[in-house]
Structure 1
Amino acid sequence: MNNADIRSPHIKVFATGGTIAGVAGSATRRDYRPGQIGIDDFLGELAAMGIETALIGSQFANIGSEDIGPALWAQLHQATTDALADDACRGVIITHGTDTAEETAFLLDQTVSADKPVVIVGAMRPADAVGSDGLRNFANAVRVADDPDAAGRGVLLVMSDRIFAARDARKAHTEMTDAFKGFPRGPVGHVTPTSLEWFGPAWRAGEGARYRFFEDMPKVSILYAYAGMPADNVADALDGGTAGIVLAGFGHGNAPRGIRDALADAVKQGVLVVRSSRVDEGLVDREPEDDDAGFIAARALGPARARILLQLLLANGITDPARAQEEFSRR
């Protein structure tokens, strides 16, 4: 399958490692090493399952997703952009560890066109574990990427027979195979190796990339709120050269008074500040104090995705808090 004719219709598969390519050495061993199986071997196993879709694989990395960052993002962005421009390429699949899958998915979702399917897939159990979910998840990803109706939906994440939009997806459990949730919209479709159902029409049909991608994006820090948090946490971030701060606040994006005052001072210095929440679900809407302080409400984005969006806004020259709020409010 990895020898498919690049001139004939095919799906590109970009491998980065993660648990889906992990090996424990025992079917019941708890610990394992991610990123041990190469893409050629992985596609060979898939061929043995009878998957007939033409797939062309490329190994970009074979690491745990905790080590994925700007350098690999730049490679994936360029490769995905090139693949989408290839008339013979029907879509793109990226195998990825689950720890940072939501960040890679959201970054690509905002910086590549939505005219062909782009699917990120991972696993919660290594390949040799009892009940390994990797091959099933991948077979599901192939079905999604090969479906013309997947176009116009932005980047998608496929796990545990569910399809999530990158704008909604987040990891919500450390071990369970159904570790991902979607907020505020939940799954956008259901898929198995033999069936596929979408829960609504495409929402980005004909839409190109929303923002230009930059390999060297401005530094944005996340501050996690906790009881008794001192204001010097903000000073430390500023001293480190941050251009933006995302507050993972209590409840509705709250923080101790000293932190809020320090963040308001940071805004006066030209730093964009976004109020998000450390709570699993819920919107962070604007409140009266935001106008005076110059804060941005994250709305439905949790801290990880809010950081990505703030980096993109800053990199694309959007530095006015009111303008940035418009971008957060359209998610």
Structure 2
Amino acid sequence: MTRPCILVLGTGGTIAGAAGSATGGGYRAGGLALDAMLEALAGLGLDADLVGREVARIGSQDIGWDEWRALHAACLEAIADPAITGIIITHGTDTAEETGFLLDLTLPAVKPVVLVGAMRPADAVGADGMRNFANAVKVASDRHAAGRGVMLVMGDAVLAARDARKAATSAIDAFRSFPRGPLARVTPARLDWFGPPHRAGEGARYRFPDSLPRIAILTAGAGMDAQPVEALLGIGARGIVLAGMGQGNAPRAVLDALARAAASGVPVVRASRVDEGLVDRNVEVDDDALGLVAARALGPARARVLLMVLVANGITDAAAVQAAFDG
């Protein structure tokens, strides 16, 4: 039987971090080259051949357009290559939900694409990177992994990129999945899926943009006025995501300013600064009257990614944007 061949795209992050001290608190993200990581992994006896390609060696707070474009192109190339079974992207955890969701929106779901990271650098006591990576290989090699969209593997859980978010700053189980739970549980020895592939044979949902428009996140707070909204419009924001209170609420002056922005053709999406929960239409805020969009299950970070893709694809009408968030 032919061994799976996995393309590993390295971007850096804590999984490639080096602290220089097993018990220290600080470290340098991306301090280890991908080749060094793969050499260490070779000693684990993983049942797959790994082919490495380094895209970047940075902390994921610095991930942006150049890295996203390179990752998307490399994934498309690997998807078209019959010799490649699946794709693993090593990534920092700070923005893994954004990279994963962007790729999920713009890649066909025909081969497994798995993001993997770590909460502790490679030379720290209790480092989790090697186990997470071995789990990612287990997922990317599995014949039942295709048709599930882009996935994130952390802490023995397989999460859909659409649902995954970082919910803790440093806990080893920092990621949560909402509104759906994990797709599977995984260890280096076993993989148990909780349901069938939900995107089998599905193509990319949206065209990968030629460039990304400026979409801003505005966090609501008590006592705010309209000036932050006006400032964002003044620097050319082509869309605004409100990280609102509760179910995406904000002071009246802020909502009125956002309604004026929406009326001028700038789509406005109401998300919540609360860690978990749905933001529905017309609950406390009259979205119909104000021309606003409810983010539903997406938090501010992923709502910004979806709105960037929509605006880049020429989708700015509030009803069409709402339909995308509902979907």
* Normalised TM-score (structure 1): 0.96
| Equivalent residue for 1:284, pick from 279, 282, 296 | 279
In structure 2, what is the Cα distance between the partners aligned to 1:9 and 1:173?
34
* Cα deviation, residue 218, structure 1: 1.3
Q: For residue 214 of structure 1, what is the aligned residue in structure 2? A: 209
Q: For residue 51 of structure 2, what is the aligned residue in structure 1? A: 56
Q: For residue 126 of structure 1, what is the aligned residue in structure 2? A: 121
Counterpart of 2:24 in structure 1: which amino acid? R
Q: For residue 230 of structure 2, what is the aligned residue in structure 1? A: 235
Tell me the SS of whatever aligns to 2:310.
helix
* Cα deviation, residue 214, structure 1: 1.2
| Equivalent residue for 1:161, pick from 156, 171, 179 | 156
* Cα deviation, residue 9, structure 1: 5.0
2:214·2:308 contact (CA, 8 Å) conserved in 1? yes
Q: Where does the alignment leave 5 or more consecutive residues of structure 2 unmatched?
A: none
In structure 2, what is the Cα distance between the partners aligned to 1:272 and 1:295?
7
Task: Give the % identical residues.
Answer: 62
Counterpart of 1:290 in structure 2: which amino acid? D
In structure 2, what is the Cα distance between the partners aligned to 1:32 and 1:320?
45
Tell me the SS of whatever aligns to 2:69.
helix
In structure 2, what is the Cα distance between the partners aligned to 1:28 and 1:128?
9
Within 5 Å, which residues of 2 pair with 1:1-331? 9-287=4-282, 289-330=286-327
Q: Where does the alignment leave 5 or more consecutive residues of structure 1 unmatched?
A: 1-6
In structure 2, what is the Cα distance between the partners aligned to 1:296 and 1:234?
16
In structure 1, what is the Cα distance between the partners aligned to 2:145 and 2:274?
31
Q: Deviations over 1:235-274 (max 9, x none)?
A: 0000010110000000000000000000000011100000
In structure 1, what is the Cα distance between the partners aligned to 2:146 and 2:322?
28
Counterpart of 1:246 in structure 2: which amino acid? V
* Cα deviation, residue 8, structure 1: 8.2
In structure 2, what is the Cα distance between the partners aligned to 1:8 and 1:138?
17
In structure 1, what is the Cα distance between the partners aligned to 2:267 and 2:258?
9
1:227·1:256 contact (CA, 8 Å) conserved in 2? yes
In structure 1, what is the Cα distance between the partners aligned to 2:4 and 2:187?
22
Counterpart of 2:187 in structure 1: which amino acid? T
In structure 1, what is the Cα distance between the partners aligned to 2:59 and 2:190?
30
Tell me the SS of whatever aligns to 2:279.
coil
Tell me the SS of whatever aligns to 2:144.
helix
* Cα deviation, residue 215, structure 1: 3.9
Tell me the SS of whatever aligns to 2:121.
coil
Runs of 4 or more above 3 Å deviation: none
1:8·1:88 contact (CA, 8 Å) conserved in 2? no
RMSD: 1.1
Counterpart of 1:105 in structure 2: which amino acid? G
1:20·1:127 contact (CA, 8 Å) conserved in 2? yes
In structure 2, what is the Cα distance between the partners aligned to 1:129 and 1:215?
40
How many equivalent pairs are there? 324
Counterpart of 1:292 in structure 2: which amino acid? A
Q: Deviations over 1:130-175 (max 9, x none)?
A: 0000000000000000001111100000000001000100000011
Q: Deviations over 1:73-118 (max 9, x none)?
A: 0000000111111111111000000000000000000000101100
Tell me the SS of whatever aligns to 2:52.
strand
2:3·2:47 contact (CA, 8 Å) conserved in 1? no
2:315·2:321 contact (CA, 8 Å) conserved in 1? yes
